[in-house]
Amino acid sequence: MALWRTLSIPIASPHGLILSFLLLFHSAVTTTVAIRVRTIIHDPSPVKLPVFREAPAFRNGYSCGSNKDDRIHIAMTLDENYLRGTMAAVLSMLQHSTCPENLSFHFLCAHSDVNLVSSIESTFPYLNFKIYRFDSNRVRGKISKSIRQALDQPLNYARIYLADILPADVKRVLYLDSDLVVVDDIGKLWDVDMEDKVLAAPEYCHANFTVYFNDAFWSDPVLSNTFQGRNPCYFNTGVMVVDVDKWRKGGYTKKVEQWMAFHKKKRIYHLGSLPPFLLVLAGNIKPVDHRWNQHGLGGDNFEGKCRNLHPGPISLLHWSGKGKPWLRLDSRKPCVVDHLWAPYDLYRSSRHFLEE
């Protein structure tokens, strides 16, 4: 079992504030820095972030429990370029949740920025969250150039290390990308019966699975047998339920890293963090209803052209692909589906200032 020790270190900032750090030391290989709620780290050159309106306060329904076991843990990355999307995603979950006060957010960021913490606190004063610094050095030597620069950012690979980063008492976590909104109670996805699987996600078995790997992979007699005994299907790693305990015990981080290292020596795919996940887990996950990832709304990875919604019920809208709704709306060239994202946008633009 992993052992953690907590150490609080007071540090005086140049502005006279006393900052407190919560250091979590994992007994195996990982050292993680977690920032407590309302605790900040001084950055000498913070990036200027957009300003957001304060979200309403959302309260639990009468049926909600208040025990530790009633918590719903949600992990997301926190990046300056996607912050507007993150804010919209968080708002959508709070707004549609039966038990919004039970949502516990775990944000992973590459840089310690006082403004990031302040931005979340001012936008969601009642939000239960922690911020963890992801050490980019863990993946810098393992990342290979892909078809889109955004896919090559170290933070895009942080999802691989959730079991190392999150506290030991987090047994299950929802990992969600920042370019989505949830239009249903997120508790329904959290409660999925994972049976004996380490990961649950919508599967898309109608998709051509072979396109996720190149000819060098499929023509190699050994590599092409990787999926032998499995019925591999594509799944999107932007919406996943992860059994953190099983991930740790099964050594899945190491398994994914081994494929990343192999790819550095012999290129076998074109995308970023998705293919190594598929190599390890495709055909061995718990399928979830497709309503929980209406993905691809950002178009392809090259042009980001508009796409229509897939038929069927929808619980989660996901702008995976190059096109992001906030950028297309700002350019005044939105796709029809982008107007489904707009109601959750908390960005306080100059237009909002004038209206107020």
Contacts of 287 (CB under 8 A, 6+ apart): 200, 201, 202, 203
For residue 73, what are its two tokens?
A: 């843990």
pLDDT one-digit tens code per residue, 184-224: 999 999 999 999 999 999 999 998 999 989 999 999 999 99
Give the residue carrying structure tokens 């959290």: 190
- At 78 the three-state DSSP class reads strand
**Confidence at 139, pLDDT banded by 50, 70, 90:** confident
d(CA 344, CA 330): 15
Exposed / middle / buried, residue 115 (Cβ in 10 Å: 0-12, 13-18, 19+)? middle
d(CA 165, CA 162): 5
Domains of the chain: 68-294 (3.90.550.10)
User: Which of 133, 146, 154 lies closest to 30, judged by CA?
Assistant: 133
**Confidence at 145, pLDDT banded by 50, 70, 90:** low
Taking CA atoms, 143 is separated from 98, 181, 279, in Å, by 40, 28, 16
Contacts of 215 (CB under 8 A, 6+ apart): none
β-strand partners of 318: 180
d(CA 42, CA 32): 17
Q: Of the ranges 116-125, 226-235, 240-249, 262-271, which one carries the lowest mean pLDDT score? A: 262-271
pLDDT of residue 151: 53
pLDDT one-digit tens code per residue, 245-258: 999 999 999 999 99
